[in-house]
Structure 1
């Protein structure tokens, strides 16, 4: 996907910020969608009812509480000993995060996952068939 398309898809999102605890603490306590990027590549799209809490949870949670935390942990496990929560947070600290407040985070996430197929999203929704009117 081209950078222009990313710009279109991520219109209305915050600028890219380092994915650190300070950044997570500055996120709003509002419903929204967030994306985690490595360079220009979207690695993960998530939705939540509370952006601040969810971004913090990805950094400090456990593998059962965060799909992103679990997926990164599994990847790190393949190249060394079982990754700790600290190892996973350190990996995420090399990424950037962007978010967008929205009243319908589920639909926004679904559209982004379908368009971007991020590597750390476990399930990619199926495209919905177009509904047309027969005349």
Structure 2
């Protein structure tokens, strides 16, 4: 996929920012979709009813509270001993985050996952069949 397509899909998102607790604390408390980037590439897409809380939860939560935390931990576990919550937060802290407020964050997430196929999204949703208008 070219960078232009990637940029178009994320055109309405905030600029990329370091994924820190300070940046998460500045996110709005509204519904939205968020992306985590490693070296400029989207590695995770998520949606939530409260962006601020969810972004914090990814950084400070545990493997049971965050799919992203779980998936990053699983990958880090392959490199040596079981990764701690601090190891996972440190890895995420080397990434960037972007978000967009959205009234239909689940639909936005599904569309982005289908288009970008991020490595930390466990399941890629199946494309929905096109519906025909009634005759």
1:70-89 pair list within 5 angstroms: 70-89=70-89
Q: Does the aligned pair in 2 maintain the 1:113–1:125 contact within 8 Å?
A: yes
Q: Distance in 1 between matches of 2:37 and 2:133?
A: 39
1:91 is aligned to 2:96: no
1:28 match? 28
1:55-80 superposed Cα distances (whole Å, 9 cap, x missing partner) = 00000000000000000000000111
TM-score, normalising length: structure 1: 0.96
Q: Does the aligned pair in 2 maintain the 1:58–1:66 contact within 8 Å?
A: yes
RMSD: 1.2
Runs of 5+ unmatched residues, structure 2: none
Runs of 5+ unmatched residues, structure 1: none
CA apart distance, 1:11: 1.5
2:124 match? 124
CA apart distance, 1:40: 2.2
Q: Distance in 2 between matches of 1:44 and 1:118?
A: 5
Q: Does the aligned pair in 2 maintain the 1:34–1:46 contact within 8 Å?
A: yes
SS at match of 2:125: coil
Aligned residues: 135
SS at match of 1:44: strand
CA apart distance, 1:133: 5.1
1:56 is aligned to 2:56: yes
Which runs of 4 or more aligned residues in structure 1 lie more than 6 Å from their structure 2 counterparts after TM superposition? Answer: none
1:19-38 superposed Cα distances (whole Å, 9 cap, x missing partner) = 01111011011100000001
Q: Does the aligned pair in 2 maintain the 1:3–1:40 contact within 8 Å?
A: no
2:5 match? 5
